[in-house]
Chains A and B, each alone.
Chain A
Amino acid sequence: MSPFAVKTYQDDEAASVTPDDSEAKGATGSGNGTVEAATEETRKVHPHSPSRYKVIKFSKVSKRFILHHERARSFQDIVVSLFGLRTLSRQGVAMPRPSTEEFWALRDANFSIYKGESIGIVGENGSGKSTTLKLISRILEPTSGSVSVRGKVSALLELGTGFHPELTGRENIYLNGSLLGLSRKEMASRYQAVVDFSELAEFIDTPIKHYSSGMVMRLGFAIAINVDPDILLTDEVLAVGDEAFQRKCLEHIAELRKRGVTIVFVSHALEAVRSTCQRAIWLDHGKVIADGPSGEVIDRYLAYENEKHAERLRADHDGTGRGVARPDPLTYDEVNMEQEIDEPLDQNELPPEDRSRAVPDAPGSRWTTGEVAITDVRFIGVEGGETALFKTEEPFTLRIFYKADRRLVKPVFGVALYTENGTQINGPNTRFGGLDIPAIEGTGYVDYHVDKLPLLTGRYDVTVAVTGSEMTDIYDHQHRAYSFAVQPTPGLSERYGLVFIPSEWSFHPGAEATE
């Protein structure tokens, strides 16, 4: 056992995890591949766990935070509360006590994590993910229940924490290493590896305050992964440095995983969780909703999220009767649009605050002349009804309503689909599609129709635009202003990646690769 074990199980409990015991458990649990609400069964015998040696165990863990709306932090309040008095205002009127509110970040959470597992923790904001990480790293103590952790924990929670700006890189490496519990001797043997990994050899004797933030992050990451952790906690910090460095980090993490390091990964990047973790735990309002193979947990989570999203969209529809535009604070106000009709928009002439709005990439931003405008966008589903919720392989229609104040000859309507994190999927338009629109004047609509939507489960954004015949003069461009969701289709089991490509598999035993 590591000398850094900070909390250990009771002896008898640790001893109970014998090979015989675990085999017996494994036998009952093998083949149990379905996701269930975290029952005793799924937790104990997880078919995907590489080892039966528990390194993290949460038993009935609850964590309560008291939210102080008005903090009792002065002695006056303390003295007053000690005597059970109420603070008197100048007029001698009793003032209300500072109100406090409880918030349960975790409620009776039970799960175990085994040695060598990579676990993703998913859930919405405020579901208890970060609290879980902080409980594992002992930054927080549970309000009730017990958290047992075996082995040295290294957290990539915030890189560069604990660096002192006045000290050099070298001094900070030693200081940081000792914060993570390493002796100077242990750190000395890793020093070169840290420097090499961070690629900062020539700056190592420069005070950290002269480093760029990227350099600080690199050094922080290099230390965190070189302390030989038994358990590595990460909290979406992999956006470190340039792409090459990021790849290096991911490779190193993969290598740590091969060496049997347990990795707990908290992320909103669900696809990253899917590809890096075998197992996922879904938390919602502090409760474990599902615990199982990551693909299945994430699908369930996505389905739930999409359902919620769709409900919200439906509610929006009923409320306003208009399209499904997301709340778009970045759209120009009507007032501004009036002026821009006669003079072309020049970003450099805009006051700074307006310029920032005109950033073309910001989701929801709009760029329009006002003469010809897209007034609404509607999604039409399988039965011809309006919806924002589709299934893979279902028909999909995007209806673009326009209004042209003057006659516009040969307009081109364009659409672009984006993933939620901004990757463009396609960008068709009426010209590419061979639709010749002679001219528009007044109102009408244009349909973009897909017979079998190839998109897999997820949320997608839509950009719509109308341009002149050469596609150079833009009349209205609404960037990622609309969105829809895709749910899994029953009977279609593909779920990795972005799109469903109809395909076939065939099997040819006995054949050999010629040549």
Chain B
Amino acid sequence: MLARARQSINYRDLLYNLVVRDLKVRYKHSVLGFFWSLLNPLLLTAVFSFVFSALLRNNTYPMYNVFFLSALLPWNWCATSVATTLGSIVNNGHLIKKVYFPREMLPVSLVLSNMINYLLSLPALFFFMLVFRPEGVGSPFSATCATACINGHLLLFPILIVTQMLFLLGLGFFVAALNVFFRDTSVLVEVGLNAWFFLTPIIYDAKTVAKEYTNLLYYLNPMASIIANYRDIFYYNDPNSPDPLFMLRTLITSAIIFALGYLFFMRFSRNFGEEV
């Protein structure tokens, strides 16, 4: 285990190069470059805001833009990570069969490049927090601010990033390895991602779910907890949130998923060379 870790350090430049390659290739051919990664969530936000605020006249969530975007952006990180790590081993079969390098670098690099993409899309969220403030919500910096405030809670953001990263790595390891042996995984995951989007409190809030399902949602879907945490620091501003214990539980769950996913990946990666 220790030897593996040491080896991974030797290959850290590979990780760097893979992440850079992924980002470069992604933006190389579009005129708008990384602005595409801003445009997509902005369009979705416009649509959902219109549906909720104008069509349904639902005013439960003031500043629905921030409410939605603070959940959609991390969700996008999750969805793109799962969708890309899924094929990370199979699609790089030509490499796996010809060169030895720590195979875990492939899924890890994708989770990281998608994370960078996520971080780059955050300005969109801050844009809504700062600019689109209806009357009565007050300044985002004032002490009386009730919604979408910019205050000390934001310092917890890195912890959430680590939490989500661990979760996505664990999940990525699992689906990437599974897909090598059962190609149906990719089809199932595609369907699953759609269902998962609606089963995760993104367009709604976990707190408004029927009581008997709230806990089930949190227990079965780590993304629900992670997104609830993001909302606690970006959207809500009440005395009970963010709850440190809840954050810690989420972090521990993610760490366990990471460890299990890694072990699963390691267990099967020795056969990748002949199975891809």
A residues sitting closer than 8 Å to B (CB atoms) are 3-4, 6, 65, 73-75, 78, 134, 137-141, 153, 155, 157-158, 161-162, 164, 166-167, 171, 174-175, 178-184, 187
Contact = CB atoms under 8 A, between A and B. Distances in A.
Nearest to B92: A162
Nearest to B95: A162
Nearest to A74: B184
A174 B10 CA distance: 15
Highest count of chain B CB atoms <10 Å: which of A139, A140, A161, A183: A139
B13 A183 contact: yes
B17 A164 contact: no
B99 A134 contact: no
A178 B11 contact: yes
15 contacts: A75-B184, A139-B99, A139-B273, A153-B100, A155-B98, A155-B99, A167-B24, A167-B25, A171-B21, A175-B17, A178-B13, A178-B16, A179-B14, A180-B99, A181-B14
B84 to A, nearest CB: 15
Contacts of B16: 178, 184
B127 interface: no
A139 B96 contact: yes
A74 B273 CA distance: 20
Nearest to A4: B10
B94 interface: yes
A36 B99 CA distance: 34
B97 A139 contact: yes
B182 A75 contact: yes
A181 B11 contact: yes
Interface in B23-63: 24-25, 28-29
Interface of B: 7, 10-14, 16-18, 20-21, 24-25, 28-29, 94-101, 181-184, 188, 270-271, 273-274
B17 A178 contact: yes
A502 to B, nearest CB: 48
B182 A78 contact: yes
Nearest to A162: B95
A178 B14 contact: yes
A262 B95 CA distance: 23
Contacts of B11: 178, 181
B183 A73 contact: yes
A179 B101 contact: yes
A65 to B, nearest CB: 6
Contacts of B273: 134, 139-141
B271 A141 contact: yes
A171 B13 contact: no
Given A155-B98, A178-B13, 17 more contacts: A6-B100, A73-B181, A73-B183, A74-B184, A139-B97, A158-B94, A161-B98, A162-B94, A167-B24, A171-B20, A178-B11, A178-B17, A181-B10, A182-B13, A183-B10, A184-B16, A184-B17
A73 B99 contact: no
Most chain B CB inside 10 Å of its own CB: which residue of A73, A167, A179, A182 = A179
Nearest to B7: A6
Contacts of A140: 273-274
Nearest to A153: B100
A73 B186 CA distance: 12
A8 to B, nearest CB: 9
Contact of B98 (A3, A4, A6, A158): A158
B9 to A, nearest CB: 10
User: Max chain B CB contacts within 10 Å: which of A134, A155, A181?
Assistant: A181
A166 B20 CA distance: 12
Contacts of A6: 7, 100
Given A141-B270, A141-B273, A181-B10, A162 B99 contact: yes
Nearest to B96: A139
Nearest to A138: B100
Contacts of A153: 100
Contacts of A73: 181-184
4 shortest A-B CB distances, which residue pairs?
A178-B14, A138-B100, A161-B98, A141-B270
A348 to B, nearest CB: 40
Given A167-B25, A178-B11, A161 B99 contact: yes
B83 to A, nearest CB: 19
A155 B183 CA distance: 29
B100 A139 contact: yes
B6 to A, nearest CB: 9
Contacts of B21: 164, 167, 171, 175
Contacts of B184: 73-75
A155 B101 CA distance: 12
Given A138-B100, A161-B95, A174-B17, A166 B10 contact: no
A211 B138 CA distance: 59
A179 B16 CA distance: 11
A360 B183 CA distance: 47
Contacts of A161: 94-95, 98-99
A157 B98 contact: yes
A498 B10 CA distance: 49
Contacts of A171: 20-21, 24
A183 B13 CA distance: 5
